[in-house]
Amino acid sequence: MIRRIETMYYGEKKVDKPIRWAMVGGGKGSQIGYIHRSAALRDFNFELAAGAFDIDPERGKAFGRELHVAEDRCYPDYKTMFAEEAKREDGIQAVSIATPNGTHFEITKAALEAGLHAVCEKPLCFTAEEAKELEELAEKQNKELVSNISHDLKTPITAIKGYVEGIMDGVADTPEKMDKYIRTIYNKANDMDRLINELTVYSGIDSNRIPYHFHKINVSEYFGDCIEEVGLDLESKNIELNYSNLAAPNTVIIADPEQLKRVINNIIGNSVKYIDKERGEIDIRILDEIDSIRVEIEDNGKGIAAKDLPKIFERFYRTDTSRNSAQGGSGIGLSIVKKIVEDHGGYIWATSREEEGTCMHFVIRKYQEAE
């Protein structure tokens, strides 16, 4: 019912980059707030980044200063905090709730709807009706996922059946037609394989069981190989690929090659779905950021409305249900991308203009030999 983070909360799993969390309540003099902060901070897995600490905004700000929380991230209430943090590239990822029992349900529900992990002092203090509503919310999200995936699987299966029937009925009566039919069947089977792989990764997100095998990777060589592989596929779709690498030739990062490729493929796959121009374009740029690299993947597609932009990395979120139904999309691809990038110690965000296109940016730290 409630997405948990106890595996990190009790220090069983160390993370390279602390989880950004916030408190609702738990202000000065609150014993529960003290317990939350002590438990969350004792193994350095969490970074207190924001809070709505007190019903008195000034008291909340004063308390936030004592905890070294930036003043502009000490909010008057949790609703304002969830809304403002969603707009930030470094917004909170989790929230702990240390308020009177009667408020837990409302705040927990809002946190879950905002895509945050929620830790509550006494989850069992919910009434039966409130617990049922939270359960229904989780069930609704799961139904949306099943519905989206059913559609995604049905689309390639229908196409495969159609082309196989064409071969059986003799419609593919020339070598050229036969080659076209077989290539289409192969591509549709790959679409199904991609979706199944995506689901496998998704199933490991909450339990932090995404398998990683980190290696030193030369940026120039790795992305050069990726571009060559991606370029052939895009060429067949009449999409022009432009690539530039401004990082030094000897730049190295620590990354899982397969999972990083999943990030790139998911972003490009999303771009391909929504390119609506006769001649599509995708630009991939590697930029040098002193102690990190920034990867930009930009397309000339439909773009994303400003109101949707902060939510595109949330699980199940799809910007336009009718458009996505036509194009396919389970609503989990970009949430997986975000998870993988953050597990590499990086961060990701998007910029977009409607009818002009979208650019995904993600940053990964460079590897530096210890002196």
Specify the CATH number for 140-203; select among 3.40.50.300, 1.10.3470.10, 1.10.287.130, 1.20.1260.10.
1.10.287.130
* Tokens describing residue 337: 């991308």
pLDDT digits 0-9 by tens, 356-367: 999 999 999 998
Task: Return d(Cα 317, Cα 266) in angstroms, integer.
Answer: 15
pLDDT at residue 81, rounded to an integer = 94
pLDDT classification of 193: cutoffs 50, 70, 90? confident
Task: Return d(Cα 74, Cα 361) in angstroms, integer.
Answer: 27
Report yes or no: 90 and 19 within 8 Å, Cβ to Cβ.
no
pLDDT classification of 7: cutoffs 50, 70, 90? very low
| Residue 87 burial by Cβ neighbours in a 10 Å radius (0-12, 13-18, 19+) | exposed
* Tokens describing residue 86: 């969603």
Which three-class secondary structure state does DSSP give residue 111? helix
Question: What is the average pLDDT across 74-99?
Answer: 89
pLDDT classification of 41: cutoffs 50, 70, 90? low
pLDDT digits 0-9 by tens, 198-209: 666 666 555 556
Q: How many CB atoms lie within 10 A of CB 82?
A: 24
Tell me the pairing of strands 357-365 and 292-299.
Answer: antiparallel
CATH architecture of 6-126: 3-Layer(aba) Sandwich (3.40)
> What residue has token string 């943090």?
85
* Tokens describing residue 287: 């930029």
Question: What is the average pLDDT across 114-123?
Answer: 70
Mean pLDDT score across all residues of the chain? 79
pLDDT at residue 102, rounded to an integer = 66
pLDDT at residue 323, rounded to an integer = 37
Share of the chain above pLDDT 70, in %: 76
pTM: 0.54
Considering the domain 215-365 in this protein, what is its CATH number?
3.30.565.10
pLDDT classification of 121: cutoffs 50, 70, 90? low
Residue 183 is inside which H or E element, if any?
helix 175-203
Determine the residue type at 117. Answer: H
pLDDT at residue 14, rounded to an integer = 42
**In the predicted structure, residue 28 carries a pLDDT above the cut 90:** no
Query: So where are the chain's domains?
Result: 6-126, 140-203, 215-365
Nearest to 49 by CA among 34, 32, 60, 64: 64
Nearest to 334 by CA among 214, 198, 211: 198
Name which of 118-132, 139-153, 161-175 the model is least confident about: 118-132
pLDDT digits 0-9 by tens, 270-323: 899 888 888 899 999 999 988 899 999 999 999 998 888 888 887 656 655 433
Question: What is the average pLDDT across 346-371?
Answer: 88
Q: Kindly tell me the sign of the dihedral angle through the C-alpha atoms of 138, 142, 143, 148.
A: positive
CA distances from 201 to 89, 105, 283 (A): 23, 30, 27
pLDDT at residue 134, rounded to an integer = 67
pLDDT at residue 209, rounded to an integer = 60
